[in-house]
Every structure is written in C-alpha cells, then in structure tokens.
Amino acid sequence: MGDDQSVKLPPGFQFRPTDEELVLHFLYPKAFRLPCNHPNIIPDLDLDHLHHPWEFDGTALSSGKMYYFFSKTREDRATSNGYWKELDINEPIFVSGNKVAVKKYLVFYVFGESPSSASETNWVMEEYSLCNNVGLNITTSPAYKRRRKQKIDLKWVLCRVHERKDDTITRQSIRYEDDDDGTELSCLDEMFLSSLDDDLEEISMQY
C-alpha cells in the first residue's frame, strides 16, 4: 500500500458507488492530480508485488464483499501462484453523454502443477481506466485544454475486486450487482463537474 491510510469504513457505512461515480469522483481527480473533495479512502497498491485476491483484506478498501484500490496499469498480472486473465468484455463509461473511461473484466486463475494447468477461480476484478482524450470529453472549457498540457497520469487505474457466486462466466455473473447502466448524472454529480472546472481553472492559472 502507498501511504499509511485507513482502509476500513466506520461501522454502519458502506462504499457502494456506481461506475460513473468511481470514475468521476475518484479516478479522474487521481489522474489529473486534483484536490480530493472526499476522504482519501481508496489506497494505492504496488502491484509489482501482486496480491492474491484473498489477501486484499487489510490492504485495499473493504466495503461489504468488495475491495477497492488504485494501481498502475500493467500487462503482466501474475502473482506467485496465479494470474489475472483479461476477459473479452470491455464496457464504456459515459459522463454527460461522452465516453470517458473503459471498464475491463479480469478473472483470477491459480496455477496447478504447472503454469499451463491453471484453474479458474470465482474472483473477478473490474479495472477502470480513463480514455486518452478524457480531459476534452468531459468539458470543452479552456481550463481543461490547458491542463492537458500539464503532467497527467493516465496510467492510474481503479480496481474493484469481488468473488462471484456463479461458477459460469457470463456478463451478468461477473457484474457487480449494484452496477447501473444509466448515463444520467445526478444534481450532485453535475455540481461536482462544475467544481472540477473551477479547480482546473485555478490550477492552470498557476502555470
């Protein structure tokens, strides 16, 4: 884990964001190095020492049966006794009608007697990554265009890990049960977009 930060929510609280909320309120500010308007509860995990999914407890943000963390995207997703295999299921994430991110699905496999005899587990990872032109998609304001010239780290991904109940891999079985296919933003999200615009305007004026 990166900084020494708490990853457990108080009793009675649950972290149940939609895809759009994860991207808009957490991944986007992370990549654009914006001030966080929420408690920084999602930790960074160094996946150079990849964790097995059953080891996320105490390292990732735990909410119910879900684990959340930031990491840097990488092609090699192997651990000491298994690996994460990417499925051919990519879902676009839209904000205000614009595609701003992509969600990939991965399933964890455990090595058998040899790496070629790995067996599938029920552990699923949903990996959210921003589109390369996300800064221009969300808004056309000059502040965003100027910010694009600054150091933006689109290698950050936000991961949500859970154990599916069904042994058969289908689009429905691997989806987080609270996922919302809707693209409508709430009033609070619209206000947050406006505050992001103000933050980027202020930051860009410093350069």
As a whole number of angstroms, the distance between CA 112 and CA 115 comes to: 6
Bridge partners of residue 109, in order along the sequence? 83, 120
* C-beta separation of 46 from 145 below 8 A: no
For residue 121, what pLDDT is reported? 93
Domain ranges of the chain: 19-197
For residue 7, what pLDDT is reported? 56
Neighbours of 24 (CB within 10 A): 23
Question: What is the side-by-side order of every strand in the sheet holding 156-163?
Answer: 61-63, 66-72, 156-163, 119-130, 98-110, 82-95
SS3 60: strand
For residue 44, what pLDDT is reported? 92
Q: How far is CA 73 from CA 30, 155, 158, 181, in A?
A: 14, 5, 9, 24
Tokens describing residue 32: 């654009």
For residue 164, what pLDDT is reported? 86
SS3 138: helix
Check: CATH 2.170.150.80 for 19-197? yes
For residue 203, what pLDDT is reported? 39
pTM to 2 decimals?
0.74
Per-residue pLDDT of the chain (207 residues; tens, 9 = 90+): 444 444 566 777 778 899 999 998 899 888 888 776 666 789 999 876 777 898 888 889 988 889 999 999 888 888 888 899 999 989 999 888 888 999 999 999 998 887 678 999 999 999 999 988 765 445 444 444 555 455 677 789 999 999 987 766 655 556 655 555 544 555 545 545 555 545 444 434 443
For residue 142, what pLDDT is reported? 47
As a whole number of angstroms, the distance between CA 156 and CA 153 comes to: 6
Tokens describing residue 84: 């994460």
CA 174 to chain centre: 16
* C-beta separation of 125 from 82 below 8 A: no
